[in-house]
Structure 1
Amino acid sequence: MFKIVVFGKRRSGMSREELIRAYENDHLNLADRLIGDGTIPPMLQYRRNYICHDDPLNIGSIEFDVVTEAVFSDRASFEANRSGLSEPKIARALMEDMQKFLDLSDLRYLVVEEFSGGGGAAT
């Protein structure tokens, strides 16, 4: 398994609800079209986690609004996905779409290694 975690901030002046609506509707529709027409291979998992900034259980602060998890079977699958997205017309469409809801000046991508279980968690 190969996993990328992306930390993003919503575009200035945009509410949390607008961010969620744009990401969950417009952006996912674009991703589904690119996968459906074979431009990019599908991911094993694609999760969006929207930060609940005002929750009293939060400890500390974070400057991001969404944490996205993209899981691929292996690094080669990730590279195939990125290769499809790097085609100029596709890259432009993707960037134009993401600019509608994300501040692209501080987008962060991290490769992570996932471990599960322990601590009383169901595996």
Structure 2
Amino acid sequence: MIKAIALGKRKPGTSFEAFVEYYKTRHSKLGEKVMKRAGASRYIRHYVVPAVSGLHEEAAESDFDVVTEFWFPDMASFQECFAIAGGEMRDEFAEDEARFADRSAIRLFLQVEEDESDLS
């Protein structure tokens, strides 16, 4: 199993709610299209909800608004996915991301290993 993670940030002036709505209804559809073609096994988005601290009424600003997981059964599907996203669909992804995300803040980690604790 191969796993990659991306961290994303909303574009300045975009509310957290608008960012999540756009990602859920528009941008993730592009991701699904590529992931299905490449034979990926999972595509998960974790939205980082702004937290209100005990000292301030306002929600604290986070460095990132979404943590996205991309899971692949093998290296071939992993490579196929990123070849499609960085090749024939590169411009489409870039144009779509520019509508709601701060492209300069995106961080991509291309191979992540999990180490889960047994809490039983």
Alpha-carbon distance in structure 2 between the residues aligned to 1:74 and 1:116: 20
Give aligned pairs, total: 114
Helix, strand or coil for the counterpart of 1:68? strand
TM-score by length of 1: 0.79
**What is the alpha-carbon root mean square deviation over aligned residues?**
2.3
1:3 aligns with 2:3: yes
Q: Which residue of structure 1 aligns with residue 85 of structure 2?
A: 85
TM-score by length of 2: 0.81
Alpha-carbon distance in structure 2 between the residues aligned to 1:8 and 1:96: 15
- Counterpart residue type for residue 87 of structure 2: E
Alpha-carbon distance in structure 2 between the residues aligned to 1:52 and 1:91: 28
In structure 2, the CA distance between the partners of 1:75 and 1:54, relative to structure 1 (3 Å rule), is same
In structure 2, the CA distance between the partners of 1:55 and 1:73, relative to structure 1 (3 Å rule), is farther
Alpha-carbon distance in structure 2 between the residues aligned to 1:17 and 1:45: 24
Q: Which residue of structure 2 aligns with residue 69 of structure 1?
A: 69
Where does 1:1-123 land on structure 2 (aligned, <5 Å)? 1-34=1-34, 40-54=37-51, 62-88=62-88, 90-110=89-109, 111-120=111-120
* Per-residue deviation, 1:79: 0.4
- Counterpart residue type for residue 26 of structure 2: D
Deviation per CA, 1:27-69: give whole Å up to 9, x if none: 1223344466xxx314211111111221559xxx841111101
In structure 2, the CA distance between the partners of 1:106 and 1:81, relative to structure 1 (3 Å rule), is same
* Per-residue deviation, 1:113: 0.5
Unaligned runs of 5+ in 1: none
In structure 2, the CA distance between the partners of 1:54 and 1:70, relative to structure 1 (3 Å rule), is same
